[in-house]
Amino acid sequence: MILDFDKFLEKNMMDFLDKKRSEVSDRAESLREEEFSMFEITEDYSKDISEALKANDMERAKEIFEEVKNKYVQAPEETISKKRLYTIMEEIYERIKDYEEGRKDSNLFETIHDYEEKGLFTNPELFKQKEEETIGIIISSLNLKEKEIEDLTSKDEFGIADLEKAVSSYRELKELVKKIPEDRVDLKAKASERTLSLFYAIKKLKDGIAEPSKAEAEKDPEAEIRALEDKLAEIRIAKEKIVRTHQDINGFLEKKDLAGSVSEYKKLKRLCESFPKELSEERIALLADAMSIYERVKKLRDDILSSQASKGKESLEKLRKKPSGSGGALDEELEPPQGLPDDAQVIKAKADKGLEKGLDDQKSEEGKKDEEKNEKDDEKDSQAARDLRKSIDDSLKRIDGLIGKNDLKASMQEYIGLKKLCRDYPKSDHEGRSEVHRLALDAYKSIRKAKGARNQPDHQSHQGRDKKSRSGRVGDETAGKQGESVEKLRVEIALSHRRIADAIDRMDAASAMKEYLKLKKFCQSFPKSEAHERVSLMSDALRSYNKIKKLKNTLSKRKENDEDQAREDADSSRFDDVRADVLDKIAHIKEFLAQKDSQSAITAYAEMKHLFNSVPDEPFERKRSLYEEILSAHLDMALLDKDFKNKSLIDGSEKVKEIRDNLSQARDFISKKMIDDASHLLLEAKHKIMMLPREEFDEKYDLMKKAEGLEHDVVFSKNLESIDSRQAAMK
């Protein structure tokens, strides 16, 4: 039986292309949905619920929760919007739940508890699964949380931060245990036992944490310097983030990428508005730069809207209200940065206008006035800093004099005044502020040292003069031993630093961390009397730790890159094998077509299609190249099939002529009363008609009709013979 392979290939290709077109369309719809998923979520529910709870407005909190719940119920299934609404609803629920733990005069928590019992949170329609799959997820989550708590509680140094994380994980673990179905008695009992054991482990570690008393914290001036250094580090990190965000926005603006520009501008706005208000001048400068970015992004948006409106499809106002990629109307998205003083905003607006239209004389005069004003302010700050520094130096001299007179009470009172002067020191002068705090700390330590020396009991007062000299010698020996111990610690610390550097050069993070732990113990063992040197050593150790941490991150990224490369190599090797198999199948198809074996060609083509579909869609270019090779092979297949079909048509014409001759001969046999010969010849002709190709449809139909007519004649002739024979028998 001969099949039309050309039509088979055409249909197969069309089905395949339709499928790919559908996949691309679905992917595009998914991307558009992710891009515009915030269209229905224009409100900042997190901010609204915070304001409502802060104002103790429980009615407003309930309204917010109900609004999110209604949107969640109405949202289409399996959409990004529904997932985001569920996440927002969970967040609101948790925040209200935490708030209600301290207040029992409202029924809002009871309302939400009803929702929880109905399964709105534990079993939302969006995440319905089979029971066994749900149990598997719960067990997996339990194991992860247990491991997380075990890692925290097994640390060598368990601090307050670790305790907070452990308690948070323990609460989540309890919630997971509650979600285990009641019919799983054994599983729930074992999970409860493990949870209880982890609770006692956390409690034991909590009792062992030595929290500094309030009095000691107040007496420790080092905490002020540490807090100041931490604050400066946070400011430096914030500035780096702002610089990177500026670079990203400039890149998006050059590409005219509105969605990316708006997203990065929001990030920049948040960073600038959260910049410490104490650094007012720097904060205003950053906000002014953010205002410039705002104007540029706004101009890009207006240009895009104007170009779209000029095409005549929609009005400008209509396009303004259209949702953008990050959701909400564009006018609502692009908000100027908050926090700029009025005069700064005026100056900034004029500066931006000058960038487009040129600076006018009035702007120049205002700029000069502002510059003079800033110079005067700087001069005032500098003069205030100089006056305070002089007062601080005088206070330090008075403290030294009082310590020399052994008047410790007066020296402590003077120190309290010194601390007040240090607090008033201008924050804009970071280096000067750090230095005066350090000098105040030295003065405090001197007072403590003098106080300790005075309170030390005189052990020699009741002894004879002969013992005094011996005690002096023992004291000298003790001081000498202490000096040797300090010198030994210095040597060990230097060696540890060298070994850490060698380990980092070898990229051996484990050895470096092991050596750092030794270094840390050496630094902690350093005498507290050598405060300056001890702080310096701890600072050097911290720098070494940062280098080790950086090395670990580098090694981790390198490992991830190696794994990714290995996966890519494996995928590439598999792709090469599949490509070779596909090309082999194409060669077989051509051979089958040359041999006029259509059925084998169709089978080979189906196998080739299965191989192609087994190739991953990513990377797209690689699969596309294979697809193009298959398409080019289709042309050769079509030519072979056309040649095959032409030969089949020639053969079909000869067979039609032969069948017509058979039917004509059968008609002659019927006229000669040779009914059996006519029947045999007619059956043979009908079989040949059925074997004709579909291309000979018209001839085939005509021959079938003629064969049916002859068949009726044969039956009629047989009936006549039967009647004649019966009549003859009756006579």
Are 184 and 328 within one domain? no
Both 311 and 416 in one domain: the answer is: no
Q: Is residue 587 part of a domain?
A: yes
Q: Which pLDDT score, from 0 to 100, does residue 359 have?
A: 39
Q: What is the pLDDT of residue 409?
A: 76
Q: Residue 373: its pLDDT value, please?
A: 62
How many domains does one find in the chain? 5
11 belongs to a structural domain = no
Encoded tokens for 388: 């305070």
Same domain, 305 and 367: no
DSSP 3-state of 122: coil
Angle between the N-to-C axes of helices 280-310 and 222-254, in degrees from 0 to 180, rounded to the nearest 10? 20
Q: Are residues 344 and 413 in the same domain?
A: no
| Residues, the chain | 731
Measured CA to CA, the distance from residue 330 to residue 323 in angstroms comes to: 7
- On whether both 208 and 313 belong to a single domain, the answer is no
Last residue of a domain, one of 325, 359, 393: 359
> Which one of 185, 215, 245 terminates a domain?
215
Q: Does residue 303 lie in a domain region? A: yes
Q: Does one domain contain both 172 and 187?
A: yes
Note down the domain range covering 668.
647-730
- For residue 4, the model assigns a pLDDT of 54
Query: 61-97: string of b/e by CB count within 10 Å (b at 16+)?
Result: bbebbeebbebbeebeeebebbbbbbebbeebbebbe
Quick one: 129 and 46 in the same domain? yes
Task: Enter the tokens of residue 386.
Answer: 């100089």
Is 635 a member of any domain?
no
Residues 272 and 190 in one domain: no
Residue 689 has a CB neighbour count (10 Å cut-off) of 22
Same domain, 299 and 367: no
CA distances to 148, 177, 178, 252, 382 from 185, in Å: 25, 11, 12, 57, 74
Clarify whether residues 112 and 238 are in a common domain. Answer: no
Residue ranges of the chain whose pLDDT lies below 50: 1-3, 28-40, 104-130, 210-217, 219, 313-316, 319, 321-332, 343-363, 457-476
Cβ–Cβ < 8 Å for 340, 287: yes
Is residue 447 situated within a structural domain? yes
Helix (H, G, I), strand (E, B) or coil at 716: helix
Q: What is the pLDDT of residue 362?
A: 44
| Average pLDDT over all residues of the chain | 72
Give a yes or no: residue 343 inside a domain.
yes
Q: How many CA atoms lie within 13 A of 186 on its CB side?
A: 0
* Torsion angles phi and psi, residue 342, rounded to 5: -60, -45
pLDDT reported for residue 131: 53
pLDDT at 199: 80
Q: Is residue 639 part of a domain?
A: no
Q: What confidence score (pLDDT) does residue 116 get?
A: 43
- Left (φ > 0), alpha (ψ -120 to 50) or beta: where does 324 sit? beta
* 387/238 same-domain check: no
Residue 62 maps to a domain = yes
Collect contacts of 654-659 with beta carbons under 8 A, ≥24 apart. 655/688, 655/691, 655/692, 656/692, 656/696, 656/699, 656/703, 658/688, 659/685, 659/688, 659/689, 659/692, 659/703
Last residue in a domain, options 323, 338, 359: 359
Of the chain, the end-to-end C-alpha distance in Å amounts to 54
| Domain shared by 160 and 203, yes or no | yes
State how far the Cα of 702 lies from the Cα of 715, in Å rounded to an integer. 20
d(CA 666, CA 700) in angstroms, rounded, equals: 18
